[in-house]
Amino acid sequence: MLKIGVLGLQGAVREHVESIVACGAEAVVVKKVEQLSDLDGLVLPGGESTTMRRLINQYGFLEPLRDFAKQSKPMFGTCAGLILLAKEIVGYDEAHLDALNVKVERNSFGRQRESFEAGLHIKGLAEPFTGVFIRAPHIVEAREGVEVLCEHNGRIVAAKEGSFLGCSFHPELTDDHRFMQLFVDMVRESKVKQNA
């Protein structure tokens, strides 16, 4: 069985765990660096990216997470997790994990009270998907090697590059597990390749 971690420092951890389990994989809440070596893939949940970075530093996760990415192990960042994965953040000198080849802008859909839901057309999903946007970032620029999976009102809100997947919205806050299934399928393909 696939073992997928959810970084358990902050954010909607339980909802991601439930979504992973609904997709037929084992979910692990990751609170210690040592747990990373056991995983086939990792989800970086939404939350507040500045707080998450502080906790990542506090618990010694930064280099181990960067190493996880360098091994091309699948990583999926939702909302703040997308900001953590990105190679460039508007207005910041330094990226966090420096993995997904995109430039992102924080809070680009407005503050908490401007949260909204929208029907999204996502590449690979036949029917529209309800995107829940809460203080969401967006991808300003998808660079070489990045496949854009979804746009909303002319802004890129989901993208994939190799073993990295990122989205601006919160798929875990709906009962629709199809977007998580895309990631679980990526993890499965990656494991098959590693074992080949």
Gap between the terminal Cα atoms of the chain: 17
Cα–Cα distance, 44 to 114 (Å, whole number): 23
Determine the Cα–Cα distance for residues 193 and 173; give it in Å rounded to an integer. 31
Secondary element (H or E) of residue 152: strand 147-152
Q: What angle do CA 60, 64, 68 make, to 5 degrees?
A: 155
CA angle 185, 65, 50 (to 5 degrees): 105
The C-alpha torsion from 128 through 131 and 137 to 142, rounded to 10°, is: -20
Residues serving a catalytic function are 79, 170, 172
127 Cα distance to chain centroid: 21
Nearest 5°: phi and psi at 169?
A: -100, -175
